[in-house]
Chain A
Amino acid sequence: MRNVWPLLRVQLIHTWRSSLERMTGTRSRMGLLLLPLLVLAFVPLIVMFVGAFIALYWGLNQIGQAHYMLTVALTAGQLLCLVFGVLYVISVFYFGKDLRFLIPLPLRPGEIAMAKLMTILLGEYMTMAPLVLPALAVYGILADVGPLYVPFAVLIYLMLPVFPLVLSGLFSLLLMRITAFRRNRDLFRVFGALIGIGLAIAIQFLTRFQQGALHVEDVQRFVEQQQPLVQGVARWLVTSTWGTQALQAGSPALGIPAFLLFTGFVAASLALFIIGAERFFFAGLLSGDERASAARRISRSELAERTGRAQSPLRALFLRELRLLNRNPTFLLAGVATPLLIPLFIAIPMATGNLTVEGFDLSGTAHLPWTPVVLVAIVFGLNSTSAVPSSAVSREGPWFWISQSLPVAPRVQIHAKVLHSLVFNALNVIIVAAGAVWLGLATPRNLLFLLAGGLLVGALAGYIGLLIDVLKPTLHWTDPQQAMKGNINSLIAMLANLVVTGVTAGAAALLYLAARPFFLPGLLIVLALEVWGMAQVVGALADVRYTQYEL
């Protein structure tokens, strides 16, 4: 195990640099300045957890089980590590680009696995922090803890993710050994994304039950209802029970044995992990890296048939965009998940009765002049969340040289990209139309305006997204995720869309005041002019910028 430290050092440097680049969207050291802002973004979540733990503490204290709060927090933290750990471990252990350099080195599988596990561990400290640290702080302040509480709390926090990670690691090692998951990275990504979406929807369902502040009765009810579940999980993640006993207020004589048990168990689990890695890590790795070929030979007649049709350059470019996005789960999920999930998240509370619309007679507003405008504005809002246009140039990445060397004007290539994003934006028109039908707003006038205006704002959002991406695309990436999630162009495009919404709303208000009978047709003309103007600007910009990008 003497090679673990130099390996870990290199892994940490690489992880730190790539994480910083991914989080801040820049390679510059100036990106460090953005880190405090990112931490600030978690403050509301931490405040929420602190409030919940204080309520939980006092509620449990009344029934003499205040320490149970620690079990809940430690178990929840470990559960988080366990669930995300599997995806994290598979991603780092089996899809890391460094493997091709590491495997030929004279390193034992256990050494590589150990170094990789340690880097994941650091990530898990961040994942657990907003959940576990508030609980440790709340208990430390409110309970009558002894002098060993702080050192024990620090050490337990540091060791807490080890056991669930070892479980995730062993599960992943076995999974990759017996399945061909590694050969299909796309399948793994879809699996990961589905888990994320499932969790998000589950949270949405669960949060509808939490209305207002947490009261003592709620806590007692929670303890009664959830105790078997927490105890059941804690029985498996046994370290959270020993961690609680070590930290629990009372005599240090009781805490020290529990702490030693905790530490010994963590050390034993690490040893087990090393044995598992020695046995299964390389075997799973060597199950194949290449994609299998279709193994279907093409006949002369089929080749003649498949090459016997010509298409216009615009159609060919449009099809290229469609195929490249649809066949890459990272691109597809990042591009369409948000616009599809937002209506779902709005619909869940409505359907489950929390945000009831029964009290509102929305059909009464169907004939108001602004109603179809609001519907189109909602479509535009949904369009703004799509990363499809704002990453359209970035997605080309290493293949951008092809677009640069084509004898097709960049402006035409941009129009093809907008046409492609329009396909996705048209989905938003359908979603909003369905919403309008549900809410009783679907008059012929509203639906007609929604269709015409929806397509126009679809093109408008497409050109705005492309404007941002043409100005500063992220072309240097090795992983598709960098082109999507590591690309702040989507965020900038959302802000640009907001500005255009403001300008259009101003124009609409003027039209309404100055020429009311002409309000809706006039607004469509305004939108059409915006699309035309934006198409000219982005087209001209692309003609210049395409020659300036240097790969």
Chain B
Amino acid sequence: MIELLNVSKSYGGGTKKAVDNLSLTIRPGEIFGFLGPNGAGKTTTIKMIVGLLRPDTGTVRVGGYDVVRQPLEAKRQLAYVPDTPEVYDRLTGLEYLNFIADVYGVSPRERQERISRFADAFNLTNALLDRVDSYSHGMQQKLVLISALMRNPPVWVLDEPMVGLDPRSAHQLKELMVEHTRQNRTLFFSTHVLEVAERLCDRVAIIDKGRIIACGTLDELRRGQTGETLESIFLELTEQ
């Protein structure tokens, strides 16, 4: 479960409000899509959820833990995949995965099984002994995804997870996302691919200029709008 209560964040000494009094609750078993134009505040919100940014005001809770007051407990609850997958370039893929497994306390048996399974699923097994600086953007994205998923935490927070993935890997990821929420776990992800959001999400929120301008199921969003598809609703709402 993720809860954001009256969260605000400004940059440039308070002159530019990136997130403005945002409140959201994402329930267990729910795939929640977070949409918005470039610079709307999506990544800032996500960074506050995972503890990379501290909100100016408001509270963020992950799995019941306050991200600011109980950061370590909150971090154990979640897996985070950033929009730009920067990974230590001098480590091999396997060294990076072992490092993450060590600091998260993943047992040898679990990591053996999960690294093997996810590396096969994302077709990365044969590159695990290569250094990350020889990886393409998509391969780095897969490595970060595997490092996040192998911990099997209750909350997944994914920032533009499909960017750079080949169609097969993107399909695999979508399957894993659905499987994750079937186990009554939480998934929060941002995307610009509205078709994916439309097909996968139980609920979506649209953020613009730091404020939530719409939130609900697709049916709820359609009410009061002329458009039928998520794309037309998105365009209608963000043009206003």
List chain A positions with a Cβ less than 8 A from chain B.
290-294, 296-298, 300, 303-304, 306-313, 315-317, 319-320, 323-324, 327-328, 398-399, 401-402, 404-409, 547-548, 550-551
Are the CB atoms of B102 and A298 closer together than 8 Å?
A: no
Q: Is B80 an interface residue (CB 8 A)?
A: yes
Further 4 A-B residue pairs, CB within 8 A, beyond A307-B108, A311-B102, A550-B53 = A292-B134, A294-B131, A310-B101, A399-B87
Q: Is B107 an interface residue (CB 8 A)?
A: yes
CA of A328 to CA of B132 in the docked complex: distance in angstroms?
Answer: 13
Q: Which of B111-119, B199-207, B215-223, B228-236 contacts A (4 or more CB under 8 A)?
A: B111-119
CA of A290 to CA of B54 in the docked complex: distance in angstroms?
Answer: 37
- Looking at the assembled complex, report how far the CB atom of B86 sits from the nearest CB atom of chain A, in whole angstroms: 4
A309 with B108, Cβ < 8 A, contacts A300-B116, A405-B51 known:
yes
Are the CB atoms of B101 and A402 closer together than 8 Å?
A: no
Total count of chain B residues near the partner, CB < 8 A: 46
CA of A294 to CA of B95 in the docked complex: distance in angstroms?
Answer: 14
Counting residue pairs across A and B whose Cβ atoms lie within 8 Å, the total is 115
Are the CB atoms of B50 and A405 closer together than 8 Å?
A: yes
- Looking at the assembled complex, report how far the CB atom of A542 sits from the nearest CB atom of chain B, in whole angstroms: 13
CA of A517 to CA of B183 in the docked complex: distance in angstroms?
Answer: 69
Contacts of B130 in A (CB 8 A): 293-294
Contacts of B82 in A (CB 8 A): 401
A310 with B108, Cβ < 8 A, contacts A304-B116, A404-B51, A405-B75 known:
yes
Q: Is B97 an interface residue (CB 8 A)?
A: yes
- Looking at the assembled complex, report how far the CB atom of A458 sits from the nearest CB atom of chain B, in whole angstroms: 24
CA of A42 to CA of B76 in the docked complex: distance in angstroms?
Answer: 54
Are the CB atoms of B97 and A307 closer together than 8 Å?
A: yes
CA of A316 to CA of B106 in the docked complex: distance in angstroms?
Answer: 13
Of A309, A401, A408, which is within 8 A of B52 by CB?
A401
Closest to B82 in A: A401
CA of A324 to CA of B99 in the docked complex: distance in angstroms?
Answer: 12
- Looking at the assembled complex, report how far the CB atom of B2 sits from the nearest CB atom of chain A, in whole angstroms: 15
Are the CB atoms of A310 and B107 closer together than 8 Å?
A: yes
CA of A388 to CA of B218 in the docked complex: distance in angstroms?
Answer: 54
Are the CB atoms of B134 and A402 closer together than 8 Å?
A: no
Are the CB atoms of B111 and A307 closer together than 8 Å?
A: yes
CA of A157 to CA of B25 in the docked complex: distance in angstroms?
Answer: 70
Contacts of B72 in A (CB 8 A): 407-409
Q: Is B125 an interface residue (CB 8 A)?
A: yes
Of A291, A324, A406, which is within 8 A of B88 by CB?
A324
Of B92, B103, B105, B128, which is within 8 A of A303 by CB?
B128
A407 with B76, Cβ < 8 A, contacts A304-B116, A307-B97, A323-B90 known:
yes
Are the CB atoms of A304 and B112 closer together than 8 Å?
A: yes
Are the CB atoms of B103 and A316 closer together than 8 Å?
A: yes
Q: Is B133 an interface residue (CB 8 A)?
A: yes
List chain B positions with a Cβ less than 8 A from chain A.
50-54, 68, 71-73, 75-76, 80, 82, 86-88, 90-92, 94-95, 97-99, 101-108, 111-112, 115-116, 119, 125-131, 133-134
- Looking at the assembled complex, report how far the CB atom of A339 sits from the nearest CB atom of chain B, in whole angstroms: 22
Are the CB atoms of A306 and B90 closer together than 8 Å?
A: no
Contacts of A316 in B (CB 8 A): 98-99, 102-103
CA of A418 to CA of B54 in the docked complex: distance in angstroms?
Answer: 27
Are the CB atoms of A402 and B90 closer together than 8 Å?
A: no
Of A308, A324, A404, which is within 8 A of B112 by CB?
A308
Closest to B86 in A: A398
Closest to B87 in A: A399
- Looking at the assembled complex, report how far the CB atom of A234 sits from the nearest CB atom of chain B, in whole angstroms: 45
A312 with B102, Cβ < 8 A, contacts A303-B125, A401-B86 known:
yes
Provide 6 A-B residue pairs closer than 8 Å at the C-beta atoms, listed in order of the A residue: A297-B126, A303-B119, A303-B125, A304-B116, A310-B111, A405-B51
Contacts of B111 in A (CB 8 A): 307, 310
Are the CB atoms of B90 and A298 closer together than 8 Å?
A: no
Residue with the greatest number of chain B CB neighbours at <10 A, chosen from A316, A401, A407, A547: A407
Of B73, B105, B108, B129, which is within 8 A of A298 by CB?
B129
Are the CB atoms of B103 and A408 closer together than 8 Å?
A: yes
What are the 6 tightest A-B residue pairs by CB atom distance, in nearest-first order? A316-B102, A327-B90, A407-B75, A293-B130, A291-B134, A398-B86
CA of A550 to CA of B87 in the docked complex: distance in angstroms?
Answer: 17
Contacts of A327 in B (CB 8 A): 90-91
Are the CB atoms of B112 and A307 closer together than 8 Å?
A: yes
Residue with the greatest number of chain B CB neighbours at <10 A, chosen from A303, A311, A402, A408: A402
CA of A298 to CA of B112 in the docked complex: distance in angstroms?
Answer: 13
CA of A307 to CA of B98 in the docked complex: distance in angstroms?
Answer: 7
- Looking at the assembled complex, report how far the CB atom of A530 sits from the nearest CB atom of chain B, in whole angstroms: 28
CA of A407 to CA of B79 in the docked complex: distance in angstroms?
Answer: 11
CA of A330 to CA of B130 in the docked complex: distance in angstroms?
Answer: 21
Are the CB atoms of B115 and A307 closer together than 8 Å?
A: yes
- Looking at the assembled complex, report how far the CB atom of B206 sits from the nearest CB atom of chain A, in whole angstroms: 25
Contacts of A290 in B (CB 8 A): 134
Are the CB atoms of B90 and A324 closer together than 8 Å?
A: yes
Are the CB atoms of A551 and B126 closer together than 8 Å?
A: no
Closest to B147 in A: A402
Residue with the greatest number of chain A CB neighbours at <10 A, chosen from B52, B87, B103, B125: B103
- Looking at the assembled complex, report how far the CB atom of B52 sits from the nearest CB atom of chain A, in whole angstroms: 5
- Looking at the assembled complex, report how far the CB atom of B7 sits from the nearest CB atom of chain A, in whole angstroms: 15
- Looking at the assembled complex, report how far the CB atom of A141 sits from the nearest CB atom of chain B, in whole angstroms: 55
